[in-house]
Amino acid sequence: MKSIRARLFTILLVTTGIVWLSAIAWIYLSTKAQVERVLDARLTEAARMVGSLVSSQDIAIGKAGAAAAIVAVPHASYDRQLSCQIWGFDGTLVGRSESAPGKPLTLAKSGFSETSVDGETWRVYAVTNPELGIRVLVGDNLRVRDRLVADVIRGLAFPALLILPVLAALLWLSVGRGLAPLNAMASALGARRASDLSALPDNDSPSEIKPVIHSLNGLFARVSTVRERERDFTAFAAHELRTPIAGLKTQAQIALGSSDDSIRNNALRQITVAVDRTARLVRQLTDLTNAESGELEDDVGHVDVGRTLQTLADDIGQHHRNAASVLISAELARLELGVNPSLFMAGARNLLENAVLHSPPDKPVRCGLRQEQRFLAITIDDCGPGIPEDELPKVRGRFFRGRNQTAAGSGLGLVIAELAAERMGAVLHLENRAEGGLRAELQFAERAIADGAA
Amino acid sequence: MRVLVVEDDPVLLNGLQVGLGLAGFTVEAVANCADASAALDTSDFDAVVLDLMLPDGSGLDILGALRRRRSLVPVLLLTARDGVPDRIAGLDAGADDYLGKPFDLDEVAARLRALARRSGGHAAATLQWRDVVLDPASMGVTRGGQPVRLSRREFSILRALLDRPGQILSKSQLEDRLYGWQEEIESNAIEVHIHNLRAKLGPGLVQTVRGVGYRMAETGA
């Protein structure tokens, strides 16, 4: 059912109906029992009365007309309710009331019995008077009894049926009124602009709607945080792309405007550098968005660390042909991690790229494994200038480029590496090496080691 | 005209250095705040092109330090952040002009010329002395309406002299204006250029003040 109002209305109406029907059934049964008890008592009384009248000789047996005199007091709608017969032991009808049939109402000697005479069911009480040799039978027509009970029930049900539509209307209106805060909230939400993520007021809302409002406000807060971060990031990325574009434009203008071959060639070389750097920046922005989106989190797979690092190193080598080489230790080749492969690639790629770009071309970057008590670390050691100690706390900030930046540095590599590490449940650790250069470590908890490996 | 360019993107820095050099400027290029401060402390510039986001600080810090020293050198801010609030913040911090990235090289040159013109107290875009007219934008020189072909160095010397006519410029001042730090200077280079200028524009125009330097001559000798 789509409408809460219709649903509530139906439920209320059905339950009210059931309560009413049960009440009527109960009243029917108890009324019937009471009526039977009272009427049975009356039958007994009437039979005894007739018996005593006969025995005290007030009624002359055999005078048929006298029987009419003992007919019960006529009742407007329930007349001919009681019938009385006086039978002799010999089977002769000594006397009967006006409404009584000619056949015996019962064959029972005494007590209550129910019999069918001429298609009518009778409830009969019999009293035997052995001294006079007579049997007094007093009977109630059951049809009349049933009508009595039915009249009582009808008297109850009829007004109820009349009231039912009124009740239905009242229920419908009340339910509508009860749901008004919900409608108010819906229309408030419906009237909002898409950009409006402010919280809904909840101080005077009903307690049933409060949880909904709280959840909605929580959702609004989360969505606006995400949107704000995206907006900040887009603005930052746009700004960050403008500088290389400005460089490209300037160099292109020089190449176009100069007739000197060496100047033109230099400008074209610079353009190549700028294009490489911009391409890397764009790739890093994509990496960052992917790492941030959180969609990769649940997808845990197996990472063959040695092979992955080798693939990355080969790829980096293709982009930076004259840069330092990468040496991967044999321990890493045997290591398998149960983490998300895309995140691992994004993190490791940026760390490796940083190391390669900062190292002198003749000194290789070394990747190794360090085992600690609580974790194991993949280390990437370069022979570059390292990071000045005062910049170490800042290097993970977005678009931070330190004093020892490279031409291709975008200030995003470490941000991506750290974000990817965080998502993998790992820790990114950076330190300057005593012998010079930087060591970047990805520290994984023991449980990240894939089963059956290492 | 000597210009300091402070920009951390190496490609853009190189572009500005080469491009402005081709437009007749003598360009010193530095990539961070520390180098920029050192350059500004040790030598004079006719204009500064300043990037805002630098690896070791903000260009606004350099600008602030410059203005606190009561330096009047014109500063053109070049930055990726060119929203109105950023522009206002930059101009209020003491910048003379603001250009958002990416920009046109010719526009940077034109704005620098305009800034230098204003700070030199000139109203016209061209510099004139007697019948010699120098147009910094087209790098053209005429004498009596007749175009005169000058080399880049000769043009720069003439321009420096015309910038403040009557003022004497020493040989080393002229060298500063002509050459970047990395360039090798022949000991008699200035004398050679002055000699050539006199040959092309007539002997009486540039006057030698013995032991001090050179200036534009008031009357033909």
At A219, which CATH number?
Answer: 1.10.287
A99 falls within a domain: yes
- The DSSP symbol for A16 reads H
A196/A121 same-domain check: no
Residues of B in contact with A407 (CB under 8 A): 10-11
Pair (A339, A357) in one structural domain: yes
Tell me which of A293, A309, A344 is where a domain ends. A293
- Final residue of a structural domain among A293, A326, A352: A293
User: DSSP 3-state helix, strand, coil percentages of chain A (rounded to 5)?
Assistant: 55, 15, 30
In this structure, the answer to whether residues A13 and A83 fall within a common structural domain is yes
Tell me, yes or no, whether B13 and B54 share the same domain. yes
A269 and A155 part of one domain: no
Phi and psi of A216, rounded to 5°?
Answer: -60, -45
Question: What is the CATH number for A386?
Answer: 3.30.565.10
CA distances to A255, B14, B39, B48, B178 from B28, rounded to whole Å, are 21, 10, 9, 9, 11
* Domain contains A58: yes
3-state secondary structure of B127: strand
Task: Let me know if residue A76 belongs to a domain.
Answer: yes
Contact status of A177 with chain B (Cβ, < 8 Å): no
Q: What gap in Å lies between CA B193 and CA A369, rounded to an integer?
A: 65
Q: Taking a C-beta distance cutoff of 8 angstroms, is the pair B50, B66 a contact?
A: no
Q: What is the pLDDT of residue A107?
A: 76
> What integer pLDDT is reported at residue A400 of this predicted model?
66
Contact A431, A444 (CB under 8 A): no
Residue B210, in any domain of the structure: yes
Q: Do A247 and B15 touch (CB under 8 A)?
A: yes
Closest chain B residue to A400, measured at CA: B55
Chain B residues near residue A240 by CB distance under 8 angstroms: 80
Look at residue A44 and tell me if it is in a domain: yes
B181 and B212: one domain? yes
Residues A326 and A372 in one domain: yes
CA dihedral B191, B194, B200, B205 (to 10 degrees): -140
**Is residue B221 assigned to a domain?**
no
Among candidate residues A425, A267, A276, A408, the one with its CA nearest the CA of residue A350: A408
Is pLDDT at B1 greater than 90 in this prediction?
Answer: no
Describe the crossing of helices B171-178 and B152-163 by its angle, rounded to 10 degrees: 120
* Contact residues for A389 (Cβ-Cβ < 8 A; gap 6+): A432
B176 in any annotated domain: yes
Q: Which residues, 6+ apart, have CB-to-CB distance to A63 below 8 Å?
A: A95
State the pLDDT at residue B50. Answer: 92
The one-letter amino acid at A312: L
Q: Which domain holds residue B202?
A: 127-216
| Interface ipTM > 0.95 | no
Do A266 and A340 sit in the same domain of this protein?
A: no
Identity of residue A313:
A
A158 and A197 share one domain: no
Core vs surface per residue B145-163: b (16+ CB within 10 A) or e: eeebebeebbbbbbbbbbb
Residue A450 pLDDT? 61
Q: Specify the pLDDT at position A75.
A: 47
Residue B99 shares a structural domain with residue B147: no
Note whether A305 and A266 are same-domain residues: no
Look at residue A453 in the predicted model and tell me its pLDDT: 44
Residues B143 and B51 in one domain: no
Are both A252 and A307 inside the same structural domain? Answer: no
Confirm whether B22 is domain-assigned. yes
> Would you give per-residue pLDDT tens digits along chain A (454 residues)?
578 888 888 999 899 889 988 988 898 899 889 888 988 898 888 888 888 887 776 555 554 444 444 444 444 455 556 788 888 888 788 788 777 777 777 777 778 888 887 777 888 888 888 887 888 888 888 888 888 888 888 888 888 888 888 988 998 999 888 888 888 888 888 888 888 888 888 777 788 888 888 898 899 888 888 888 778 777 777 777 888 899 999 999 999 988 889 999 999 999 988 898 888 888 888 887 777 766 555 667 788 888 899 999 998 888 777 888 888 888 888 888 888 888 888 889 889 988 888 888 888 899 998 888 888 889 999 888 888 888 777 777 666 666 666 655 667 788 888 888 888 888 898 888 888 888 998 998 877 666 544 4
Q: Model pTM? A: 0.59
CB contact under 8 A, B14 and A266: yes
- Digit-coded pLDDT (tens) for B52-81: 888 778 888 899 999 998 888 999 998 887
CATH of the domain at B112: 3.40.50.2300
Task: Please indicate if any CB of chain A lies within 8 Å of the CB of B55.
Answer: yes
- How many domains, chain A? 3
Stated length of chain A: 454
User: Is the domain of A309 the same as that of A273?
Assistant: no
In a domain, B193, yes or no: yes
Total domains, chain B: 2
Answer whether A257 touches B (CB < 8 Å). Answer: yes
Q: Does some domain include residue A176?
A: no
pLDDT score, position A354: 87
Answer yes or no: is pLDDT of B90 > 70: yes
Around A31, how many Cα atoms within 13 Å sit in the side-chain half-sphere? 18
List the domain range (segments joined by +) for residue A131. 4-166
Q: How many CA atoms lie within 13 A of A50 on its CB side?
A: 34
